Amino acid sequence: MASTNDLKNGMVLKLEGGQLWSVVEFQHVKPGKGPAFVRTKLKNVLSGKTVDKTFNAGVKVDTATVDRRDMQFSYMDGDYFVFMDMETYDQLHVDRKAVGDTAHFLVEGFEATVAQHEGEVLSVELPAAVELTVQDTEPGVQGDRSTGGTKPATLETGHQIQVPLFITTGEKIKVDTRTSDYLGRVNG
């Protein structure tokens, strides 16, 4: 249990019917008239839906303990992604639904943060940017480059993104895991 005065970004609350909500942002408001209150933006941990919710200041809210561990992606086992805990070497099978869009960027050996609550995997988070190899892309077209044209490229994970015309098959590039945007070439 915590008070609404103790809220912090990233804190996970257990609200109506045991649903888990992560605090995205919050603001303490003290109007000139009437009692103080806390305005929050909450994100449902499982569905990803965001809602705005207002609490009276000082009200008790139920907090949930979320265990975040750095794990390494090992391999696919049917519809499950198998992660290994780097400290205990225990293996964890994670359902495709819990992995979500992160699957577009997972390559064997990548480290990810796996969030769990009471043994249930809530989410798998990768760093903001990852380095991946371009598996296939058409050759760049000669001509007018002033428009900064892009072309589709298939990454080693099978995910397709837009890259600049000068990128070739086999190159290593940096990709934003939140937006699927091309961030640049990887030197080396």
| Amino acid 155: pLDDT | 93
Domain 67-125: CATH class, spelled out: mainly beta
Contacts of residue 20, Cβ cutoff 8 Å, sequence gap at least 6 = 12, 13, 14, 44, 45, 46, 64, 66, 117, 122
Q: What is the pLDDT of residue 95?
A: 86
Q: Residues near 22 by Cβ (< 8 Å), separated by ≥ 6?
A: 10, 11, 12, 13, 42, 43, 45
User: How many other C-beta atoms can be found within 10 angstroms of the C-beta atom of residue 175?
Assistant: 24
Between CA 34 and CA 50 the distance in angstroms is: 27
The pLDDT assigned to 141 comes to: 65
**54-106 tens-digit pLDDT:** 998 888 988 888 888 899 999 988 889 999 988 888 899 988 888 888 889 98
User: Residue 32 pLDDT more than 80?
Assistant: yes
For residue range 124-161, what is the model confidence (pLDDT) as tens digits? 888 888 999 999 988 866 655 556 678 899 999 999 99
pLDDT for the residue numbered 188: 63
pLDDT at 86: 86
pLDDT tens-place string over residues 109-125:
999 988 888 888 888 88
Q: Which CATH class is domain 129-185?
A: mainly beta
pLDDT reported for residue 135: 92
| Residue 127 and residue 177 in contact, taking contact as beta carbons nearer than 8 Å | yes
Q: For domain 2-63, give the CATH number.
A: 2.30.30.30
> With bands split at pLDDT 50, 70 and 90, how would you rate the model's confidence at 172?
very high
Per-residue pLDDT band for 48 (boundaries 50, 70, 90) equals confident
Answer yes or no: are the C-beta atoms of 164 and 181 closer than 8 Å: no
**Where in the chain do CATH 2.30.30.30 domains reside?**
2-63
Residues of the chain with CATH 2.40.50.140: 67-125, 129-185
pLDDT of amino acid 166:
86
